Amino acid sequence: MSVQTWTWIIVGITFTLYFGIAIWARAGSTKEFYIAGGGVSPLANGMATAADWMSAASFISMAGLISFMGYDGGVYLMGWTGGYVLLALLLAPYLRKFGKFTVPDFIGDRYYSNTARTVAVFCALIVSFTYVAGQMRGVGIVFSQFLQVQIHIGVIIGMCVVLFFAFLGGMKGITYTQVAQYCVLIFAFMVPAIFISFNMTGNPVPQIGMGGTLENGSYLLDTLDDLHTKLGFSEYTSGSKSTWDVFAITCALMVGTAGLPHVIVRFFTVAKVRDARKSAGLALLFIAILYTTAPAVAVFARTNLIETVSEKKYSDIPEWFKNWENTGLIAWADKNNDGKIQYVAGNALEGKKPIFTNARGSNGERILENASMKTNNELYVDRDIMVLANPEIANLPNWVIALVAAGGLAAALSTAAGLLLVISTSVSRDLIKMQLRPNISEKSELMVARGSILVAVVIAGIFGIYPPGFVAAVVALAFGLAAASFFPAIILGIFDKRMNREGAIAGMVVGISLMLFYMIRYKTGLIGVMDPRPASEWWFGTSPEGFGTIAMLVNFVVSMVVSRLTPAPPQHVQDIVENIRIPSGAGKATH
Amino acid sequence: MSGKKAKEYWSKNLRYLAILLSIWFVVSYGCGILFVDELNNFRLGGFKLGFWFAQQGSIYVFVVLIFVYVKWMNKLDKEYGFDEE
């Protein structure tokens, strides 16, 4: 059977499963809608957290990014797992004990202030929207690949599907769909990895195969280092970023992980404090399975890619190459007219994305308008396709290729649904119920929640169609924003009894503004107003992805100074702090 | 609950956190980033050691750390009678 047929079958089966679960677990009350009723088992919550967490970026982009970054890719691996240690040790148990529905709930009560709550809501919205934009893009890429349509049509299809889950099921539906999605995505990620690892190194465990030897007896990683050096790239196992920048990015990603509202909220859904701790551990275990495999996949993919294309004739190149070229994610310009692909260091293009004319060249390739004549590199490969194309590059059976498409969809959809829920909760509960209309009935609150999901999906879709960069790069900025805003306010709220309203608000506002400023100035620019400034002007050589670390430190300092200059929090708040430090008597989460 | 008991419980909790987070820092930022070049002079099979810590080892340690924490805290809760039914 063809890849196309297999894809239809596997995606069809998995989607039927998700829809079935979504209908079975639809939410009837706000409590079910927001926190799945509060009785999810640690195991189910661990899987759901893992699926919620492992997004299109983890599944589709991360291994690809790493395969182009080499050692530097470690920032994502450590950053996106190490945060769970912080989450398990510093946040999850206490927030569960506190027993509310959302992060702004905690901020609002702990800092006895609706202003603080509002600031937290806006931070949650900014973080979640930045993050969800990346997810919609990922959904679009996968759909466009297997339906052979334009990416923006893929995004629109994805929007409709996500809307269905989130709309119907709320947190309850999402949680149980995510358990299923975790199983699909991890299976889909592991099967090709195991195949390729076995084919290349004779060892079926990718984590070990990565350090194994090839048929000719030399170590895989050494071979890859040699290939890289020969083609003019820097050695795979050593990085090109500065030590400080690697440090800053890793830290921002870790702290951001622990501060992401859609991750934190998962720990409100378990019954007890000890369940919250345990499910954080399980979540990381489930995540680690993919995260320790991804760097292996990166090495396999990189080696395979170089060996398949380098110095090969375009006319002899396998079918997958031309398919991806048709979607615009691979481009080749025969600069020296030898009909062979030269893949060496340097940008193949002027600008970031290929621009094609409608014509075909003498070898049948799509003609590029913006091939750069300054370098000898003829090949442009979009980082996002590495995982999706990997099974094809490695010549795996068609059903494996189809499985990867289903896994990518599971990853993107589960995360997007979780994020959209946080967005709608922020609006329906934290803004409308807690502030604007406290007397709203449960039924209307549910309606508002569902309505805001609809609006959020549309906005997210627009971001997905006009994305500001690679999927993972956009997502990385959401972490900086979370690190710069929530993390200090929550940590200080638990560990510093003296922290007060003034300090927390000042810290959050300064932190997120600074991060936004830096991000716009050096990464995204403002469309029509200014372009991003070059890397040479970065403060202390800190990239926008790593700047969350600095913004977080500034947040901490501002919070501490301001809180010590203003009155201590009232006694009942200090009692709350005493209380959340003790696990017993957590009870059920309440309004 | 008595304030003294709660205080003692909390300071033990903080000590556990200090131990676990130090290990967390050393394996990731230490072995994986700051001293990666030094460690890369050593090898673990086909891996350079520093590279292995950055892309594999630190993640394994993270998982272990959380489960150690879960174990310690469950014991501590019981010791102080703060465990839930």
Question: Which of A43, A58, A85, A494 should one mutate to test binding to chain B, selecting the residue with the greatest count of B CBs within 10 A?
Answer: A85
Decide if B9 is inside a domain: no
**Strands B43-44 and B47-48, bridge-based pairing:** antiparallel
- Compare CB distances from B66 to A84, A246, A254 and report the shortest one's residue: A84
Q: pLDDT at residue A196 above 60?
A: yes
Decide if B70 is inside a domain: yes
Decide if A172 is inside a domain: yes
CB B70 within 8 Å of CB A278 = yes
B44: tokens are: 């673990």
For A97, residues 6+ apart whose C-beta sits below 8 A from its C-beta are A273, A579, A580, A582, A583, A586
Taking CA–CA distances from B77, the nearest residue in chain A reads: A583
The DSSP annotation for A533-585 comes to: PPGGGSGGG--TTTHHHHHHHHHHHHHHHHHHHSPPPPHHHHHHHHHHTS-TT
Give rounded-to-5 percent helix, strand, coil for chain A. Answer: 70, 5, 25
Closest Cα in chain B, distance from residue A250 (Å)? 8
A226-253 pLDDT, tens digit per residue, is: 888 888 888 888 877 888 989 999 999 9
A500: tokens are: 């007060």
- For residue B39, what are the domain limits? 14-79
Centroid of chain to Cα A305? 25
For A214, residues 6+ apart whose C-beta sits below 8 A from its C-beta are A200, A201, A220, A223
Residues of A in contact with B65 (CB under 8 A): 85
A109-140 pLDDT, tens digit per residue, is: 999 988 888 888 888 888 888 778 777 777 77
- Compare CB distances from A582 to B6, B21, B55 and report the shortest one's residue: B6
Closest Cα in chain B, distance from residue A239 (Å)? 10
B36: tokens are: 């990666």
Among residues A40, A46, A35, the alpha carbon closest in space to that of A281 is found at: A46
A519-551 pLDDT, tens digit per residue, is: 888 876 665 667 777 777 788 888 888 899 999
Residue A41's alpha-carbon distances to A278, A341, A546, B75, B77, in angstroms, are: 10, 53, 35, 21, 20
Decide if B7 is inside a domain: no
Residues of A in contact with B62 (CB under 8 A): 81-82, 84-85, 284, 288
**Strands A330-332 and B43-44, bridge-based pairing:** unpaired
Mean predicted confidence (pLDDT) in A567-586: 86
Nearest-5° Cα angle at A261, A409 to A404? 15
- For residue A176, what are the domain limits? 3-61+99-304+393-580
- Compare CB distances from B47 to A77, A211, A292 and report the shortest one's residue: A211
A178-188 pLDDT, tens digit per residue, is: 899 999 999 98
Decide if A586 is inside a domain: no
Burial class (CB in 10 A: 0-12, 13-18, 19+), A59: buried
> What total number of domains does chain A contain?
1
CATH number for position A576: 1.20.1730.10
Radius of gyration of chain A (CA): 24
Among residues A465, A385, A524, the alpha carbon closest in space to that of A137 is found at: A465
Decide if A118 is inside a domain: yes
Among residues A97, A65, A95, the alpha carbon closest in space to that of A80 is found at: A65
Question: Which of B41, B55, B69, B72 should one mutate to test binding to chain A, selecting the residue with the greatest count of A CBs within 10 A?
Answer: B55
Interchain CB contacts (distance < 8 Å): A and B:
138
Among residues A338, A317, A476, the alpha carbon closest in space to that of A389 is found at: A317
Residue A301's alpha-carbon distances to A220, A241, A560, B46, in angstroms, are: 12, 22, 47, 17
Q: Are A582 and B52 in contact (CB < 8 Å)?
A: no
Q: What confidence category does residue A348 fall into, taking pLDDT thresholds of 50, 70 and 90?
A: confident
Decide if B56 is inside a domain: yes
Q: Are B84 and A586 in contact (CB < 8 Å)?
A: yes
Decide if B32 is inside a domain: yes
Mean predicted confidence (pLDDT) in A378-405: 83
Decide if B24 is inside a domain: yes
- Compare CB distances from B66 to A73, A281, A295 and report the shortest one's residue: A281
**Amino acid in the structure at residue A184:** V
Decide if B20 is inside a domain: yes
- Compare CB distances from B6 to A278, A284, A578 and report the shortest one's residue: A578
What is residue A529's predicted lDDT score, i.e. its pLDDT? 65
Closest Cα in chain B, distance from residue A110 (Å)? 19
Residues of A in contact with B60 (CB under 8 A): 288, 292
What is residue A567's predicted lDDT score, i.e. its pLDDT? 92
Closest Cα in chain B, distance from residue A212 (Å)? 6
A61-114 pLDDT, tens digit per residue, is: 788 888 888 899 899 999 999 999 999 999 999 988 887 778 888 899 999 988
**Strands A379-381 and A366-368, bridge-based pairing:** unpaired
CB A266 within 8 Å of CB A419 = no
Q: Are A89 and B17 in contact (CB < 8 Å)?
A: yes
Q: Are B28 and A78 in contact (CB < 8 Å)?
A: yes
B66: tokens are: 């959380």
Look at A285-299, A379-393, A481-495 and tell me which has the smallest mean pLDDT.
A379-393
Q: pLDDT at residue B57 above 50?
A: yes
The ipTM of this complex is 0.94
Closest Cα in chain A, distance from residue B7 (Å)? 9
Residues of A in contact with B34 (CB under 8 A): 243, 247
Closest Cα in chain A, distance from residue B78 (Å)? 10
Which strand (E) or helix (H) includes residue A6?
Answer: helix A3-24
Residues of B in contact with A45 (CB under 8 A): none
Q: Are A281 and B44 in contact (CB < 8 Å)?
A: no
> What total number of domains does chain B contain?
1
Tell me the percentage of chain A whose pLDDT exceeds 70.
95
Residues of A in contact with B20 (CB under 8 A): 85, 89
Closest Cα in chain B, distance from residue A551 (Å)? 19
Whats the size of chain A, residue-wise?
Answer: 591
Decide if B28 is inside a domain: yes
- Compare CB distances from B82 to A85, A281, A582 and report the shortest one's residue: A582
